[in-house]
Structure formats: C-alpha cells, structure tokens
A and B are shown apart, each in its own frame.
Chain A
Amino acid sequence: KAGVTQTPRYLIKTRGQQVTLSCSPISGHRSVSWYQQTPGQGLQFLFEYFSETQRNKGNFPGRFSGRQFSNSRSEMNVSTLELGDSALYLCASSLARAGVDSPLHFGNGTRLTVT
C-alpha cells in the first residue's frame, strides 16, 4: 500500500506570493492533518480534515487555509507569504480520528523556503 505522498518536495517562493501544497493520503484513510515543523518549535498543528470538512484548526493566521476533496486528497494554501513561513510542512493521514483511534501516518513533507 502506497504511503502518504506530498508534492512538491521543495519550494522556493518570495515574500508576498502564495503557495499551494498537495497531499495524497493512504488509500482508505479519511482524515488528513497538516503540521508545520520549524527548529525549536516542534510540530505545530495547522488543521485536520475529515470527509471534506475541517474538523480541527490550530492557532495559525487566516493566511493558512486548506481543503479536502472527495477522494480524500488535501491541499494547503498559504497566501501573502512571510519569511517566518519557511518551514517543513507535513501532511499526515489516518483511518479515523487522528491520533486517537488510529496513529497518524506522515508523508516526507514539503520544504518551503521564503526569500
């Protein structure tokens, strides 16, 4: 069974631009979560989608948004990029409730660099 796939692996953008990251979950997984990893901050929760609905949201500004499609694939969008948005963005999928009923399975992440 294929794992969680994130595209692209690397991105370089300039301040003020917007970016869209993509995530394809493991087949059959209905929950997709997004995390931001920066040095010293660990994994910061962005949001979780389940059956196309946002079920949970972290403490990030409205510039960060996401969506989930009927095939469970998910996209994350960041508008008006800032230097501080440079990070590794990780997507994770699970069968049901993230972390409680089933462990998260992570992709290898998208490394975003904002210059």
Chain B
Amino acid sequence: DQQVKQNSPSLSVQEGRISILNCDYTNSMFDYFLWYKKYPAEGPTFLISISSIKDKNEDGRFTVFLNKSAKHLSLHIVPSQPGDSAVYFCAAVSYNTDKLIFGTGTRLQVFP
C-alpha cells in the first residue's frame, strides 16, 4: 500500500523555466511533509518541508504547496538550473507514528 505516490517517474525542463514536481498521499493523518533531493551515488539531502497547518512554504528558488483537501503537494523550482537535475522524493510523517514514508521519486532533468 503506497501511501505516498509520485506518479511522474521523470520530468524534463529547460533551464530557466519552472519545474513542478507533484506528490499525492492517501493518509489524512499525515501532519508534516518534506522534500528530499538525491544525486547519484549519494544519499538524499533535505530540501524543504511544510506543516499541515500551512499551505505554502518558500525557501529561495524552492516553494512547496500543500492542498490538504486534495491530499496533494507540489514542489516548484524557479528558475530551474542544470544543478537541480536529480531524483526528488517527497515524504510524509504523522506525529502519532513518527514513521517517515517516502514516495517513489521523480527524476528531474534540467537541460540548457
């Protein structure tokens, strides 16, 4: 049972444009959501997070949006840069369980 889903396995975007990565979840008990970025041969690194009491969190070029009614979150990268090319994982956690559940990942490629 995949509670956190990233339905797009890959995304290709031109440098300077916006990248939008999507994530859907099924468990309404999730309280906190995070995005991680992973380069080949490295472990994932934390990117940005959002609490369920908010609908938007911004950090430089990265913005995460949360739509609780749709059980959907998205990560916007503006402007996209070649160095953003990586696999992006969304993750969700419930304060009750403390178990961090990851999605399957989306491979982003930013081309010049």
A residues near B, CB below 8 A?
Answer: 4, 33, 35, 40-45, 48, 55-56, 58, 90, 92, 97-100, 103-109
Contact = CB atoms under 8 A, between A and B. Distances in A.
Given A99-B100, A103-B49, A108 B42 contact: yes
- The 9 tightest CB contacts between A and B, nearest first, are A106-B43, A99-B100, A42-B104, A43-B102, A103-B46, A99-B93, A56-B99, A106-B44, A42-B102
Contact of A104 (B6, B41, B100): B100
Chain B, interface size category, equals: 20 to 34
| Majority-rule SS of B interface residues | loop
A60 to B, nearest CB: 13
Given A108-B41, A108-B43, A35 B97 contact: no
Given A42-B104, A90-B44, A99 B89 contact: no
Contacts of B31: 100
A99 B44 contact: no
A43 B99 contact: no
Contact of B43 (A56, A100, A109): A109
A48 B43 CA distance: 17
Contact of A97 (B34, B41, B98): B98
Nearest to A102: B46
Contact of B100 (A33, A108, A109): A33
B104 A40 contact: yes
A41 B104 contact: yes
B103 A99 contact: no
Given A100-B32, A100-B95, 14 more contacts: A4-B43, A40-B9, A45-B100, A55-B98, A56-B97, A92-B43, A98-B100, A100-B93, A104-B36, A104-B46, A105-B46, A106-B44, A108-B43, A109-B43
Contacts of A42: 4, 6, 89, 102-105
B86 interface: no
A4 B42 CA distance: 11
